[in-house]
């Protein structure tokens, strides 16, 4: 599961401008938390990747509640003093924890030797540099070993990229840094045991559309400097030849959907489960909500749906 559960801090901030169609009582965390837990547990997943997880919600509600259902949970807070982040839960009866390799993207870009080329390109424009340095997104990474398939290892990554509409260049660099780091993590575990299959599942709210250069980068393994997204960035932050690549064969497990976020202001596909097509295949996808149900209470969140996003859920199996 990949699910942006809508942090309380953003809901309260945006209520008057974006969520007035939802009754005030239904946006309170005390009302939404039981709905979130019922939904999350109802899908009967083994791995949960959640975004916009408030610090107190994780500590006081999600962790103790999900621990009672055999889950182990790990939390990674965003940088910059933001009291929300990402969380990964996994069933202890199904997976064994091998390690955690989280990064703060801006720190990794500036300090990791493997990102020197990305850093030079990004910081070649002073305005781009300053815009990028104001963002504190993270990539949370857990490495798991299935208890019934010891010949496999699974790298599970979880992120929430920058949201601003004209920041496609920032999201691209964030995705490139993330994939560079994940390549290194995959290499570490592959070298530990050359006989094991080490596979990647990368979940998150990427805040990009399926025709974006970030989606193209993730699924086509490279970027094009002439992508139309480059026309939307501020002119004073433009950097030519934004061309990068990676070597992972990834696809969107849930395919292309009409939307994964549905408010009055946004009806777009923003959330993805990218999976390693060399070692994994999709067995089943949980169907999306009927559109009539989504519109029943105007939009999300509502009295029956606790988030403005829709959970992405699928079954993956080893090849």
Contact 78, 138 (CB under 8 A): yes
Contact 184, 177 (CB under 8 A): no
Catalytic residue among 107, 112, 205, 290: 205
What is the C-alpha separation between 119 and 105, in angstroms, rounded?
Answer: 11
Spatial CB neighbours of 319, under 8 Å, sequence gap ≥ 6: 278, 279, 280, 281
Beta bridge mates, 105: none
Phi, psi of 29 (to 5 degrees): -60, -35
DSSP codes, 11-30: HHHHHHHH-TTS-GGGGSHH
The candidate with the shortest Cα–Cα distance to 304, out of 98, 16, 22, 109, is 22
Helix (H) or strand (E) holding 190: helix 168-192
Contact 86, 159 (CB under 8 A): yes
Phi, psi of 314 (to 5 degrees): -150, 160
Per-residue b/e over 65-77, b at no fewer than 16 CB within 10 Å? bbeeeebbbbbbb
The candidate with the shortest Cα–Cα distance to 253, out of 292, 213, 199, is 199
Is residue 102 classed exposed, middle or buried when 0-12, 13-18 and 19+ CB atoms within 10 A define those classes?
A: buried
Spatial CB neighbours of 37, under 8 Å, sequence gap ≥ 6: 61, 62, 65, 66
How far, CA to CA in Å, does 6 sit from each of 17, 53, 204?
16, 7, 13
**Is 205 one of the annotated active-site residues of the chain?**
yes
Q: Which residues are tagged catalytic?
A: 205
């Amino acid at each position: 599961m990949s699910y942006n559960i809508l942090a309380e801090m953003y809901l309260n901030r945006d209520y008057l401008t974006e969520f007035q169609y939802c009754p005030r009582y239904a946006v309170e965390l005390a009302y939404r938390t039981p709905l979130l837990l019922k939904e999350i547990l109802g899908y009967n997943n083994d791995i949960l990747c959640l975004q916009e997880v408030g610090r107190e919600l994780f500590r006081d509600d999600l962790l103790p509640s999900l621990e009672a259902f055999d889950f182990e949970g790990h939390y990674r807070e965003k940088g910059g003093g933001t009291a929300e982040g990402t969380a990964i839960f996994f069933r202890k009866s199904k997976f064994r924890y091998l390690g955690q390799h989280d990064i703060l993207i801006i720190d990794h870009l500036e300090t990791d030797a493997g990102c020197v080329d990305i850093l030079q390109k990004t910081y070649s424009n002073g305005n781009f540099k300053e815009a990028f340095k104001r963002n504190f997104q993270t990539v949370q990474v857990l490495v798991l070993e299935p208890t019934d398939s010891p010949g496999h290892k699974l790298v599970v990554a979880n992120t929430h990229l920058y949201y601003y509409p004209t920041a496609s260049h920032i999201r691209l660099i964030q995705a490139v840094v993330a994939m560079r780091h994940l390549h290194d993590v995959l290499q570490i575990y592959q070298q530990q045991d050359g006989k094991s299959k080490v596979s990647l599942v990368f979940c998150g709210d990427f805040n990009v559309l399926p025709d974006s250069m970030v989606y193209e980068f993730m699924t086509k393994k490279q970027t094009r400097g002439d992508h139309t997204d480059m026309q939307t960035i501020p002119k004073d932050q433009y950097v030519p030849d934004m061309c990068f690549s990676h070597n992972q064969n990834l696809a969107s497990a849930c395919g292309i959907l009409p939307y994964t976020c549905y408010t009055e202001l946004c009806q777009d596909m923003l959330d993805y489960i990218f999976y390693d097509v060399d070692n994994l295949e999709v067995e089943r996808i949980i169907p999306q909500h009927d559109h009539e149900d989504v519109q029943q209470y105007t939009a999300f969140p509502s009295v029956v749906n606790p988030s403005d996003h829709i959970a992405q859920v699928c079954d993956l199996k080893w090849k």
